[in-house]
């Protein structure tokens, strides 16, 4: 699915620290947990309930296309969905972007057509903070004591024209990402530049919890939560936590203003659930966690065998949520090399802003370059026109700002 940087991009000591901590602690805590994570059923700032009692499915993943939105290969109709941020605040459909990490409460998923209806969509980035280092060779940045890796599938917002080359120390960035425990690093799916913020944020795994000093670590960041009035009952070593901090450190510590349960899974049982991400904790092929969601795969079908289910593997798991645990029906390995990324993204909609000289147009707010199309279906380049409904598949330009179309099809 994504190309990850080589293991040499993160110091060996750091990798060993993360591997030991995550494997030993995260899984045992997650599988013992009952109830749900902080992502589900909350109340937004307007007093509306963020969940939906009529929802039967839960999906966690990255937006890889529009038509309405495409997550984990499923096209979700978002026309009537409530869109929320990770604090429960109301957003609009215009806030849904390529590469954003989302959690979707929806209707039943038709596996034959790959379609479903989204009822509630929550958008949640992993990090917001200032860049403290840029490593051009490793294609990585440091922020909030964490390493963030940039790959060929990292989408860069227009605020960072030029992609990775536009990042510099001191910039305020918001990063959507998945955590790779084998590298002790976040693999970015989308990066946006922010102008200002009254708080920074970080989602990660708790380590070195000191309930007397009221501190813990996420990566190399030391968090002081003495001023937090509502501490989640799940706060423990190995737990996933979402923390908001003051933008300036005090005596080398980040001062927390809020703590929330960091698990992605819905707070309610769901008969259909699907998550896609890295295995972040592992005990066996049938007991592991994906992006912090504990999985019980005792009765699952393993599409690629059990031997590939290891720490750091990039997988998709389908099943049912029960008491915060994803009881798997199917586990399959997703492609994580860089051998074919020509059709990782998919857009459906009407062409606008057609520029035949530059061979570009806009589709669902995304700039599309059609200069390297390998396949035209039911249309030709000459028949492109504003208002024409098309399907576009392709990969990202080297700077991550443009979708390079490899196939364009006419749609009715």
Hey, what are 183's tokens?
């590298």
pLDDT at residue 11 in the model:
47
- From CA 304, how far away is CA 188, in angstroms rounded? 26
Q: Are 346 and 99 in contact (CB under 8 A)?
A: no
- From CA 120, how far away is CA 344, in angstroms rounded? 25
Which tens digits make up the pLDDT trace of 152-172? 999 999 999 999 999 999 999
Quick check: 74 pLDDT over 70? Answer: yes
Question: What φ, ψ does residue 29 adopt, rounded to 5°?
Answer: -70, -45
pLDDT at residue 5 in the model:
35
Confidence bin at 293 (pLDDT 50/70/90): very high
- From CA 157, how far away is CA 299, in angstroms rounded? 41
Confidence bin at 336 (pLDDT 50/70/90): low
Quick check: 264 pLDDT over 90? Answer: no
pLDDT at residue 53 in the model:
55
Across 132-149, average pLDDT? 97
What mean pLDDT is reported for the chain?
87
Across 137-148, average pLDDT? 97
Q: Comparing 220-234, 248-262, 325-339, which segment has the lowest mean pLDDT?
A: 325-339
Quick check: 275 pLDDT over 50? Answer: yes
Q: What percent of the chain has pLDDT over 70?
A: 85
Across 333-362, average pLDDT? 82
Quick check: 225 pLDDT over 50? Answer: yes
pLDDT at residue 343 in the model:
60
Confidence bin at 267 (pLDDT 50/70/90): confident
Across 75-90, average pLDDT? 94
Tell me the Ramachandran region of residue 263: left when phi exceeds 0, alpha when psi lies from -120 to 50, beta otherwise: beta
Concatenated DSSP letters of 4-68: ---GGGS-HHHHHHHHHHIIIIIHHHHHH--S--TTSS-B-TTS-BSS-TT--EEEEEEEEEETT
- From CA 293, how far away is CA 281, in angstroms rounded? 9
pLDDT at residue 318 in the model:
96
Quick check: 54 pLDDT over 50? Answer: yes
Q: Comparing 50-59, 115-124, 289-298, which segment has the lowest mean pLDDT?
A: 50-59
pLDDT at residue 24 in the model:
41
Across 338-361, average pLDDT? 84
């Amino acid at each position: 699915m994504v190309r990850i940087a080589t293991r040499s991009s993160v110091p060996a000591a750091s990798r060993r620290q993360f591997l030991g901590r995550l494997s030993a602690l995260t899984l045992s805590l997650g599988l013992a947990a009952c109830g749900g994570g902080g992502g589900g059923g909350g109340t937004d700032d307007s007093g509306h309930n963020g969940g939906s009692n009529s929802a039967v499915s839960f999906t966690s993943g990255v937006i890889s296309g529009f038509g309405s939105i495409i997550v984990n290969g499923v096209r979700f109709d978002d026309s009537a969905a409530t869109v929320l941020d990770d604090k429960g605040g109301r957003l609009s459909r215009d806030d849904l972007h390529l590469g954003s990490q989302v959690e979707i409460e929806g209707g039943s998923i038709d596996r034959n057509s790959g379609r479903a209806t989204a009822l509630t969509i929550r958008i949640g980035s992993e990090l917001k903070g200032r860049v403290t280092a840029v490593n051009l060779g490793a294609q990585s940045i440091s922020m909030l004591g964490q390493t963030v890796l940039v790959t060929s599938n990292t989408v860069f917002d227009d605020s960072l024209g030029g992609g990775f080359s536009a990042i510099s120390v001191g910039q305020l960035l918001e990063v959507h990402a998945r955590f790779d425990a084998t590298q002790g690093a976040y693999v970015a799916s989308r990066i946006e530049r922010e102008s200002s913020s009254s708080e920074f944020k970080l989602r990660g795994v708790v380590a070195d919890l000191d309930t007397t000093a009221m501190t813990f670590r996420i990566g190399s960041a030391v968090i002081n939560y003495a001023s937090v009035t509502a501490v989640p009952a799940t706060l423990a070593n190995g737990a996933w936590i979402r923390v908001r901090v003051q933008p300036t450190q005090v005596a080398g510590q980040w001062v927390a203003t809020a703590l929330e349960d960091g698990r992605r899974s819905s707070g309610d049982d769901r008969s259909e659930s699907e998550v896609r991400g890295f295995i972040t904790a592992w005990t066996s092929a049938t007991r592991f966690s994906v992006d912090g969601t504990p999985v019980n795969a005792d009765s699952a079908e393993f599409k690629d065998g059990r031997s590939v289910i290891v720490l750091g593997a990039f997988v998709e798991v389908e099943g049912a949520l029960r008491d915060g645990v994803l009881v798997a029906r199917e586990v399959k390995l997703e492609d994580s090399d860089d051998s074919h990324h020509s059709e990782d993204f998919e857009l459906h909609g009407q062409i606008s802003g057609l520029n035949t000289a530059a061979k570009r147009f806009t589709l669902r707010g995304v700039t599309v370059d059609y200069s390297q199309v390998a396949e035209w279906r039911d249309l030709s380049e000459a028949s492109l026109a504003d208002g024409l409904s098309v399907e576009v598949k392709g990969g990202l330009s080297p700077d991550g700002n443009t979708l390079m179309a490899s196939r364009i099809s006419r749609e009715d």
